[in-house]
């Protein structure tokens, strides 16, 4: 499933208990993506 499909998937949103649950999911996703990007930048600069 790609990003656009996920963001348009009503069942995806229904899987969260409430707004805070959804917000928490996106915060965690952001943290993980930030760490991944930092790791990628570090590998490129040391390479």
pLDDT of residue 12: 92
pTM above 0.85, yes or no: no
Output the six-digit token pair for 24. Answer: 């928490």
pLDDT, tens digit, 9 for 90 and up, residues 5-47: 988 999 999 999 999 999 999 999 899 888 876 656 666 666 5
The residue among 2 and 37 whose pLDDT is bigger is 2
Contact indicator for 12, 6 with CB cutoff of 8 Å: yes
């Amino acid at each position: 499933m790609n990003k656009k499909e996920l963001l348009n998937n009503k069942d995806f949103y229904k899987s969260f208990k409430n707004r805070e649950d959804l917000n928490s999911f996106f915060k965690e996703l952001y943290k993980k993506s930030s760490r991944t990007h930092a790791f990628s930048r570090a590998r490129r600069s040391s390479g």
